């Protein structure tokens, strides 16, 4: 018994291998890019982009007697000329030559000055800081700025002084003293070293 075998169909076309298709595409892309770049270069310059640049014109020979001057900066700038400073001529013995260093004059020694005493208007002195702050606030409402200073007396007590100043001269504090009197405050003049 023979079995009938059906004939198997063979594909009409065998699958093609595409190993070289990618490399060929990259190569064609590079060639086309180079052609487009050369065409753009030619369009903008109207010259052959593959031709070497024209040689520069020959320069005139430089005389042997005169060395070429080195020019700083950009081409076409004027050469730097050594400046002739006139202040050397103004100075004593101004012949343009440099001289040995001259000794500086010795400073004149002065007697130490006694620092001037500063004048203050003291409006009050309190044992408690709260009372001093209250007086400062009342003075501020009158338009007078005062400060509070902590001081230790000779007997060891600590007081808060409410003062206005400092003033250099008695004439400077007269206007403030008049304002204090018109606002109903009494002030005494005190002195202290700065």
The answer to whether residues 191 and 115 touch, using CB atoms and an 8 Å cutoff, is no
The pLDDT, as a whole number, for residue 80 is 67
Indicate the CATH number of 118-192 among 3.40.50.970, 3.40.50.720, 3.40.50.180, 3.30.70.1070.
3.30.70.1070
Query: What pTM, to 2 d.p., does this model score?
Result: 0.39
**pLDDT for the residue 53:** 58
Is residue 33 over pLDDT 90? yes
Residue 157 has pLDDT above 90, yes or no: no
More reliable by pLDDT, 9 or 145? 145
Supply the pLDDT for residue 42.
84
More confident residue, 189 or 80: 189
Average the pLDDT over 176-189 and give the result.
Answer: 84
pLDDT digits (tens, 9 = 90+) for 125-153: 888 888 888 888 888 888 888 888 888 88
pLDDT at 29: 96
**Model confidence band, residue 55 (pLDDT cutoffs 50, 70, 90):** low
- 150, 160 Cβ separation under 8 angstroms: yes
Contacts of 92 (CB under 8 A, 6+ apart): none
| CA 55/CA 57 separation, integer angstroms | 6
Domain ranges of the chain: 118-192
Counting Cα atoms < 13 Å in the Cβ hemisphere of 140 gives: 10
């Amino acid at each position: 018994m023979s079995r009938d075998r059906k004939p198997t169909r063979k594909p009409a076309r065998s699958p093609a291998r595409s190993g070289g298709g990618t490399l060929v595409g990259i190569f064609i892309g590079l060639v086309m890019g180079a052609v487009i770049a050369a065409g753009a270069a030619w369009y903008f310059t109207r010259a052959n982009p593959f031709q070497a640049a024209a040689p520069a014109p020959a320069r005139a020979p430089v005389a042997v007697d005169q060395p070429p001057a080195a020019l700083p900066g950009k081409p076409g700038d004027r050469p730097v000329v050594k400046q002739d400073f006139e202040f050397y001529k103004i100075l004593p013995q101004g012949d343009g030559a440099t001289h040995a260093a001259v000794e500086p004059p010795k400073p004149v020694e002065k007697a130490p000055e006694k620092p001037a005493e500063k004048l203050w208007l003291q409006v009050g002195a309190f044992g408690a800081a709260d009372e001093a702050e209250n007086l400062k606030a009342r003075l501020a409402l009158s338009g007078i700025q005062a400060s509070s200073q902590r001081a230790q007396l000779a007997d060891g007590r600590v007081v808060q002084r409410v003062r206005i100043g400092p003033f250099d001269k008695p004439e400077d504090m007269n206007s403030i003293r008049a304002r204090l009197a018109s606002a109903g405050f009494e002030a005494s003049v005190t002195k202290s070293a700065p």
